Amino acid sequence: MLDIVILAAGKGTRMKSSLPKVLHPLAGKPLLSHVLGTASTLGQQDEDASDLRVVIGHGAELIKERIGSDGISYSLQTEQLGTGHAVQQVADTLRDDAITLILYGDVPLIRKSSLEELIELVDDETMALLTIELEDPTGYGRIMKDAQGSVRAIVEQKDATTDELAVCEVNTGVMALKGKQLKAWLPLLSNTNAQKEYYLTDIIALARQHGIEVATSHPQDEMEVLGVNNRQQQAELERYYQEHVAQDLMNEGVTLLDPFRFDCRGELEVGEDVVIDVNCVMEGEGSLGNDFSICRKVVFINCTSGNNVVIKANSHIEDSILGDHCDIGPFARLRPGTQLGKAAKIGNFVETKKVQIGDGSKVNHLSYIGDTTIGKKANIGAGTITCNYDGVNKFKTQIGDGAFIGSNSSLVAPVNVGNNATVGAGSTVTKDVAEEELAIARGKQRNIANWARPSKK
């Protein structure tokens, strides 16, 4: 059995932000969400698995709102009196026979494998501590060991002597022990230290006093246990995360023209022969088909793409479905609800929203198409607008197979343009156009002879 406690009550003063520290983003989602994601994968075979316990304080209501409560129970630390005091807020919910694992909401990159190794060390006679050797241990609690190499205490930086400060093995804060032991020792913590706080690390000395061995394990990488305390650390972890995502994608066969100028802020499935140019941002859940190519500076959010798709530079694609052989951009914007059929073409400076565009249809230039269904092999001329909003309500436009809409036309919804119908350039269409009809709806032109242009006064 496993009980997981995540400490997330701190304000994060050095972030210089009103946003709670654990809600600051890494790869597009809050720091705390990364920790919760990893924690939720632990103990999945435990039929008696309990909710993840999150201790919150500063910005508590905002954290609940952003993170949600699915599989999570929250406890409030009203006063920031240290990590030991934070764990006391959930002590009465911990199961005696379960292993309690303590994690931190601002340490987002901890790996499941590191935590599993730590948990394996715990039994009734042993608690476990995650430690790491650092070249520069400044700011971390130092691990004090006896002559036999066993952990005897952790000394915080502000309470350490000169000799203790020279120790390079440091505490990550992550620990695991039996619930009954933790609940017995928490009331014994003291705040007689420089910060006047109840340190959870004092549990180590209490364990020794009660004859419990303190075993240690180590993460694979220092970055796993690096917390985010300022903007510099946030940026450092972001780059580390993105570099690893890029390496994973290249291992899957993706061509990244510059892996150091690529950002993935979500989950991305890829086919074969995918090519991604520089400064592209992939967000949410995305899927790229075979022979897929993205040019530079493309934003791709929650989209699914078929095979042989090309997205040209500076396009923004969101919540859209792209069929095989589509050609998009440059400077195209596909807004949520866009669905493109096979070999559809969306050209430069075209915006779409809530549209279904049929196989082989084209919207090539400078158009807005919203709340519209377009059939197969239709051609939408430059500057065409579907006028779908009357200031209160939205209305649909239907354009049939093979229809041709002339340049600079306005289709005032609700309106239907039939199969193989034609709309003359510059028309404002307010009535349905039947199949194979030609609609011309222009104001009468007047030509004024000998007209004098205005002159500058």
- Residues annotated as catalytic are 365
Phi, psi of 141 (to 5 degrees): -70, 135
Q: How far apart are CA 204 and CA 130, in angstroms?
A: 12
Tally Cβ neighbours within 10 Å of residue 88: 21
Secondary structure letter of residue 159 according to DSSP: G
* Extended beta strands in 156-270, E state: 169-178, 213-217, 255-256, 262-270
Which tokens belong to 242? 């993105």
What residue type is assigned to position 9 of the chain?
Answer: A
- Helix, strand and coil in the chain, % to nearest 5: 20, 35, 45
Place of tokens 């430069």: 348
Secondary structure letter of residue 316 according to DSSP: E
Q: How far apart are CA 83 and CA 12, in angstroms?
A: 14
Q: How far apart are CA 11 and CA 83, in angstroms?
A: 13
Strands laid side by side in the 275-276 sheet: 255-256, 275-276, 293-294, 310-311, 327-328, 345-348, 362-365, 379-380, 404-405, 422-423, 438-439
Q: Are 442 and 425 in contact (CB under 8 A)?
A: no
Interacting residues of 277 by C-beta distance below 8 A, sequence separation 6+ = 257, 294, 295, 296, 297, 298, 313
What residue type is assigned to position 265 of the chain?
Answer: R
Tally Cβ neighbours within 10 Å of residue 191: 14
Q: How far apart are CA 195 and CA 200, in angstroms?
A: 13
What residue type is assigned to position 190 of the chain?
Answer: S
